[in-house]
Chain A
Amino acid sequence: MAVIDNESPDQGSESFLIESGLYTDEDVYQLELERIFGRSWLFVAHESMVPKEGDYITTFMAEDPVIVSRGNDGHIRVLLNKCLHRGNKVCLFDRGNAQRFRCSYHGWTYNNQGGLGSVPLLKDSYMGDLDIGEMSLPAPRVANYKGLIFACWDKDVISLEDYLGEDFRWYLDTFLLDADPLGLQVLPGRHRYMMPVNWKLLAENFGGDQYHFASTHSSVIAISQRPEAGRIVHSEHSGEHYSAEFTSEKHPPHGLLQLAVGEQFYQEDMNMANGLGAEAASWVTNRHDRLQERLGDLKTRPYSFHTANVFPNLSMVGLATALYGRSLIVWQPRGPMRTEVWQWCFVERSAPDSVKERMAFTLTQRQAAAGMVAPDDHENFERTSDNLRGWEARTVPFHYGMGKNSGSTSVLPELPGRVLPQISESYQRSFYRHWRKQMRQNV
């Protein structure tokens, strides 16, 4: 397949022109389902979505429908939501609590650990010629990283810890997963919405494209000084900001944006928290104290990062301030030019109610299905996809050349990973380089 095998025109090892076929071609897409989504750790749930035995949610691993079920033994499993008999769904709700999943077609029934528990007419019509004790719903490998549940269909995949990589895990731990002593709490009402564009353009945007913010979201910048905006703004353009990239031969590339360094960001959070009352202010203070402990004696004092992408299709947003909902987004691929977006809002469990409400409010108003940010991204991508219908337009590659000659050393070597200027296209280049490599592996 040309787009996988060929290096792009005028590429050295540092490719920066990407052919449009990556975003339009059905054959490429089908191969991605096998080689990218079939072989990567995919985010499926957070522990707090299935707190009790019998709790489940249904979701997708790319196009494959799965149930994330906490069985009666307390273990979380991921089960293909497809009856072993003739392929019907066995679980029909978005979430709930169930002892068993009963297929409506002929009535095969599975327990909440995936095992086939009963089959109608097993004695009378199968005459004992079906060993249901051996049969269970297909289940991928599952791993739990500090509450984030990932699954992978590839039995030989590296461990989830190695997949995330030590450097990126430091940021995940420091700013998201170890931030609250009681952990994260998912809120009801996850968003699901369609975006008419290839999933890769969304994933690499969250991991590496700070460049677009000033143009695409200029309406948000334009209103940010208004008094009505006081509840939802944070400094994106003032203060010290970086991006960071985690690229290695050992794991796929991950990237993050708006790495904020310095005390100013804490002061801004304090100002907002003061507006919510003494309880909120003292929570933000304690949170900051805990962060100082985690940072230890680092001379560089980062406060937060805001967005990230975990290869391939898990993105994050909302981490910039203590008062913004922590959001996980999965870009579920739905064909070469369609993506179904799944987005959850989390709050830090120890926060007072006033802070939790503000967190959810801020996310809702900004990067969410009906917020003031996402519709503008949507529109750009829709027009981009429209253009890719053109025969001639498809021959013009996408340009990812920013910063390609600016070297690969970290600008803050004291911190893990490769810290880069805030605006760069380095992550995208790494993303596509890795994507091509993984697409070529035909074992």
Chain B
Amino acid sequence: MCDLGKLTHLHGAITRFYAKETALLDDGDLKSWLKLFADDIRYTMPMRESVQGEDAVDLIDREGLQFYLFNDDKESLELRVERLYTGLAPGETPPSVTQRLVTDILLTDTSTDEVEVRSSFLVFQVRHDFHETIFAGRRMDRLRPMDDDFQIARRKILLAQSVLPRTVSIFF
């Protein structure tokens, strides 16, 4: 296969992987969703701030000590999911209805085995009654090829919002 053919194939495989992930989240199958993550996953979401003289786009890559919205590894993601499965959390009772769109899938680095992927997402969340929220943002993932599929080895999320429309009880 030529390079373009390989890239198209890879892009298709990653698109299918994300569609599968989105379905697990929208179906509320969080335990299966967790299995998409590598054991060494780092899952982060910084809080957006507009800092004079700093490029807002850089925020998604901001490293170092900070007050993240999500700053998770496999163990803490598992704990978050376990908590929701207790059925005791008012914030997810009844569970939110979500409908996600994941799009603009761009392979930003294919030079090593692990693929760097940028994508955009829109999450429409219905908490209950008329309480509807849209979260919009972008993700930067590092995907690790694994048995004809992928594992997420790193996920960086940045929401577009600078004031969150509500507290966050769902995943991205």
Contacts and interface: CB of A to CB of B under 8 A. Distances in A.
Interface in A334-386: 340, 343-345, 347, 353, 356-357, 360-361, 363-365, 368-370, 372, 374-380, 382, 386
A98 interface: yes
B165 to A, nearest CB: 6
Nearest to A342: B163
B29 interface: no
Contacts of A187: 65-67
B104 interface: no
Contacts of A191: 47, 67, 69, 164
A443 interface: no
Contact of B47 (A97, A190, A195): A190
A121 B77 CA distance: 60
Interface size class of B (residues with CB under 8 A): 35 or more
Nearest to A347: B65
A421 to B, nearest CB: 25
Tell which of B78, B79, B86, B131 has the most Cβ of chain A within 10 Å.
B79
A272 to B, nearest CB: 15
Interface in B87-143: 87-93, 127, 129, 131
A106 to B, nearest CB: 21
B53 interface: yes
Contacts of A189: 46-47, 49, 66-69
A222 interface: yes
Interface string A240-255: 0000000000000000
B83 A223 contact: yes
A193 interface: yes
Contacts of B129: 386
Contacts of A378: 91, 166-167
A417 B82 CA distance: 40
Contact of B90 (A192, A365, A376): A376
Contacts of B165: 193-194
A96 B129 CA distance: 41
A382 B70 CA distance: 23
Contacts of B91: 375-376, 378-379
For the complex, would chain B's binding face be called helix, strand, loop or mixed by DSSP majority?
Answer: loop
Contacts of B92: 375
B67 A219 contact: no
A95 to B, nearest CB: 6
A228 B75 contact: yes
Contacts of A345: 67
A391 to B, nearest CB: 18
B90 A193 contact: no
A356 B45 CA distance: 18
B8 interface: no
B168 interface: yes
B90 A96 contact: no
A372 B80 contact: yes
Interface string B129-172: 10100000000000000000000000000000011111111000
Interface of B: 45-47, 49-53, 62, 65-71, 75-76, 78-80, 82-84, 86-93, 127, 129, 131, 162-169
9 contacts: A193-B163, A193-B167, A218-B86, A228-B82, A360-B65, A369-B167, A370-B69, A375-B92, A382-B127
7 A-B pairs closest in CB distance: A96-B52, A375-B91, A370-B168, A345-B67, A193-B164, A219-B88, A375-B169
